[in-house]
């Protein structure tokens, strides 16, 4: 259940993959809504996007509490150069920072719209395009998407080229 110095635990793995799936869906739905000219499409997408973002917020808070209070920090994979471990740590920090910036700018848009109850479908969705946090939300989304691609490519590189345990230890039933 908990991580060990060698492997991530079941809870950490569940948090990782649940977050990954939700965040990729959120980035896709956010871009879909942002690039759509059809108001009905925008609203339909945002009706799913907003509660999913709320779920990511909850998942991130629980994940950080689990990680800081109950879990064990994993050690770097044997044989990984120190410079790669440093880059990995900073990339993970950047991923967490972008998650928090996306959530903060999304919440700021809802609050500034005067319709925060729209998050739960209790009110009509507000027009968000003219709100100041909207620009930051879009920029951070692009940075976030780039970080996710780099993170995935690094995991694939470690698995396919270096053939080390980096990806396997973040998967279920690993050896």
Residue-level pLDDT at 97: 96
pLDDT at 175 over 60: no
Tokens of 130: 């003219």
Average pLDDT for residues 143-170, to the nearest whole number? 92
Residue-level pLDDT at 120: 65
Closest CA to 66 of 17, 1, 18: 1
Residue-level pLDDT at 146: 96
Residue-level pLDDT at 118: 65
Residue-level pLDDT at 119: 62
Report the predicted TM-score, pTM, of the whole model to 2 decimal places.
Answer: 0.85
Fold assignment, 10-170: Fumarate Reductase Cytochrome B subunit (1.20.950)
Residues 121 and 40: their CA atoms lie apart, in Å, by 15
pLDDT at 38 over 60: yes
Tokens of 108: 């700021």
Residue-level pLDDT at 79: 84
Closest CA to 154 of 102, 100, 84: 84
Query: 27-36, 90-99, 103-112: which has the highest mean pLDDT?
Result: 90-99
- The answer for residues whose C-beta is within 8 angstroms of residue 72's C-beta and 6 or more apart is 2, 3, 4, 5, 9
Residues 154 and 146: their CA atoms lie apart, in Å, by 12
3-class SS at 114? coil
Residue-level pLDDT at 25: 96
More confident residue, 92 or 47: 92
Q: Where are the domains of the chain?
A: 10-170
Residue-level pLDDT at 122: 64
Closest CA to 129 of 112, 104, 142: 112
Tokens of 92: 């993970």
Query: Do the beta carbons of residue 87 and residue 151 sit within 8 Å?
Result: no
Q: What is the pLDDT of residues 48-94, one digit of tens each?
A: 898 899 999 999 999 999 999 999 888 888 888 899 989 999 999 99
Sign of the torsion angle spanned by Cα atoms 153, 82, 4, 163? positive
Q: What is the pLDDT of residues 100-146, one digit of tens each?
A: 999 999 989 888 888 777 666 666 766 777 788 889 999 999 999 99
């Amino acid at each position: 259940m908990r991580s060990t110095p060698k492997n991530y635990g079941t809870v950490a793995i569940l948090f990782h993959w649940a977050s990954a799936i939700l965040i990729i869906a959120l980035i896709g739905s956010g871009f879909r809504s942002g690039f759509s000219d059809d108001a009905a499409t925008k609203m339909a997408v945002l009706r799913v996007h907003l509660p999913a973002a709320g779920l990511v917020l909850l998942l991130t808070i629980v994940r950080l509490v689990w990680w800081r209070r109950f879990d064990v920090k994993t050690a770097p994979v044997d044989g990984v150069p120190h410079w790669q471990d440093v880059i990995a740590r900073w990339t993970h920090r950047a991923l967490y920072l972008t998650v928090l910036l996306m959530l903060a700018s999304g919440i700021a848009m809802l609050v500034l719209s005067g319709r925060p109850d729209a998050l739960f479908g209790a009110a009509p969705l507000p027009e968000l395009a003219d709100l100041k946090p909207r620009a930051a939300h879009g920029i951070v989304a692009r940075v976030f998407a780039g970080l996710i691609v780099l993170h995935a490519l690094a995991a694939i590189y470690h698995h396919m080229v270096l053939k080390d345990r980096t990806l396997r230890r973040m998967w279920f039933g690993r050896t």
